[in-house]
Chain A
């Protein structure tokens, strides 16, 4: 059985999954930079190298994400919403019906039927509020590494409100809160709640059953807790939530008979 490769050429990161017969063998990630095709190719090469395999073993490459047209060697191109649905549905063992995906520049809410097909979706418009970019900005401003967000925000004693969801206004609001001596953990917790509110708004209130959260920011347990509080439902996160979309793209190869 040949390998299938899925690439998600996102706005902030390139994610790649190598699988055989749908079983994930390798995952990799690199930051998005000019020359996306070359970066993606290098990522694949390093994956194949780690697996001690060569390009001959590859049955096909499927690409999704903003840059999907930039990768010439793609056998299949899939839109990221369909890829997200397919990937998460399969990885959740067919359980996922509601998904919130937080990407570098966008926020999406998806609803699936019992076959994993998208029945409805919502996506933020061009405003970057509530997206990965929002968290990157906060990390810089508050000088807290992204992987410390959950631990730091749990230390907050007071519940603050961040009034702005717009990235630009939120930045100045955070700056003025810092200037007033507000503890960073409180600002961070408020930020999590603000993003969670925005995701919940996109989803609508009629959520039944667990919500699956994916995309890079899904690794932030502080956000997961905030979303849980906001939606008052269980939030499930897979082990590698930033790779579900690339994996979903790869599944399209199978559907197309190429894997």
Chain B
């Protein structure tokens, strides 16, 4: 019987147990990270943000930012617009196995583990929010409200859909998307009870541009071996858990202490890899830890939970309100590297483009079992990447730990391939 259908006392007991397990998963990883030799005091700001379950983290994020939350899935809703409306944009995601197990009984077996974990966490604590913004990306996300109901999540926040044109290269798709963004603006204004002015939007765009600049420096630090890939991922994981300017300030403080000398990693050619594919979400750092154990260094990635957790800087040429909204719409649609789009050659080109800068010899492609967009793409990318001399490995996994040894064996052998 699924937990949702259990009698109230049993259900309460199951949920209490699950909540303990969810918290324990984060605590274990955080304790392990704090014990690492390369842990610095400057990481504390990020570790603290991640120190609670994601639902509780949401409440903390609202408190830290001093703004009501606006919950999001995926990366296509312009954060600047939400921020300018006075909300804290909060991407809801979870890497908790216990949370995923809690929701499993109410959902098909091959549901995206990430969404299953999100639903489990929301069952435990839906965290009050002004609303949801859901871009219609993959099939699972598109059915998310239905899954909220199936999992009996107690969340009455208003849901606003963004209908995402899957063809980016067509003018009518771009126009439809621009209309969607204007409608989102109206929705946010209704929720906030006030208009989004040009100045507020300019300020928000500037705040996210500063965050993007800080991320760029972090990327560089990772490429140069000054910042371990695992820490990079952790810093990015904390992005939505703090006010954007506070996160940027914490990153700046960290950057100031990352010594400029290069470590061995830069010279270690065959061990330098690009990590692509499905998101890897805290506290499920199984793969990043195994990559480290296998002697592989992720010097660049395109995960929407890491380097791509928020888009690049929006270039503004026309500072009118229309110009700002258009620029945001363009950068969040045209710039998006999610594989749900039909015409997305940019994904493979992005890997080639980063190759010279980051100096990697191979691509590790992570497929979350049940994540169809990335699963399919892992097959499409293999041939073009290999044709360009990049070694490639596809790893299909989920949130469980039982395939650790199997994955490690493959990663170690992959490292040896020249």
Contacts and interface: CB of A to CB of B under 8 A. Distances in A.
Interface of A: 66, 79-82, 105-106, 117-121, 123-126
Contacts of A124: 406
A106 B413 contact: no
B396 interface: yes
A119 B417 CA distance: 6
Given A80-B413, A105-B406, 12 more contacts: A66-B405, A79-B412, A79-B415, A79-B416, A81-B409, A118-B416, A118-B417, A120-B417, A121-B413, A123-B406, A125-B397, A125-B403
13 contacts: A79-B412, A79-B415, A79-B416, A80-B413, A81-B409, A81-B416, A82-B412, A82-B416, A121-B410, A123-B410, A124-B406, A125-B406, A126-B400
Contacts of A106: 406, 409
Which of B397, B402, B410 neighbours the largest number of chain A CB atoms within 10 Å of its CB? B410
Contacts of B416: 79, 81-82, 118
A79 B413 contact: yes
B194 interface: no
Contacts of B402: 126
B418 interface: yes
A80 B409 CA distance: 7
Interface in B379-418: 396-397, 400, 402-403, 405-406, 409-410, 412-413, 415-418
Given A82-B416, A118-B417, A123 B409 contact: yes
Contact of A126 (B406, B417, B418): B406
Interface of B: 396-397, 400, 402-403, 405-406, 409-410, 412-413, 415-418
A66 B417 contact: no
Contacts of B396: 125
Nearest to A11: B405
Contacts of A80: 409, 413
Nearest to B413: A81
A175 B352 CA distance: 53
Contacts of B418: 117
A79 B409 contact: yes
B161 to A, nearest CB: 35
A2 B396 CA distance: 43
Contacts of A123: 406, 409-410
Nearest to B294: A79
B278 to A, nearest CB: 15
Nearest to B386: A120
A57 to B, nearest CB: 30
A84 B376 CA distance: 30
A129 B406 CA distance: 14
A92 to B, nearest CB: 19
7 tightest A-B CB contacts, nearest first: A81-B413, A79-B412, A126-B403, A82-B416, A79-B413, A123-B410, A66-B405
A198 to B, nearest CB: 15
Nearest to B415: A79
A125 B409 CA distance: 11
A121 B406 CA distance: 13
Nearest to B412: A79
Nearest to A83: B413
A124 B417 CA distance: 18
A258 B121 CA distance: 54
Contacts of A81: 409-410, 412-413, 416
Nearest to A80: B409
A177 B48 CA distance: 58
